Amino acid sequence: PYTGPQQLPVPAQSTPTLADAVKSAHQEGQDFGESVARDAPALWLEAVLARKPRMPSDLEARLLQGSSLPIDFLLHDEVRHALRRGFWDALERSRR
């Protein structure tokens, strides 16, 4: 028999941990690095790689602003480091 509208069970939202954020940040950094490497001239890429680990400030700003991670996570050094590491990993791979 029909008993009226039923409340749908709400799936428990698991709160992402710092480790999850670091993993996501690395992937975001790689995705960003791949898109930069795809669009950039080879000489420019070599110049950027030659300055590693210093990232051009405009790229670092775009990397941080484009992140989908909550600001609470972006305040952690480990998360920002993972973003940058992912970026550099992608740039290094693009050079091969």
- pLDDT at residue 16 above 90? no
- Which two tokens mark 40? 């950039």
Tell me the pLDDT tens digit for each residue of 72-86. 999 999 999 999 999
What is the pLDDT at residue 95?
86
Please give the backbone phi and psi of residue 9, each rounded to the nearest 5 degrees, phi first: -65, 135
Residue 25's pLDDT band (cuts 50, 70, 90): very high
Asked if residues 60 and 84 have their Cβ atoms less than 8 Å apart, the reply is: yes
What is the pLDDT at residue 11?
56
- Average pLDDT, whole number, for the chain? 91
Residue 15's pLDDT band (cuts 50, 70, 90): confident
Residue 8's pLDDT band (cuts 50, 70, 90): low
The CB density around residue 24, as the number of other CB atoms within 10 Å, is 19
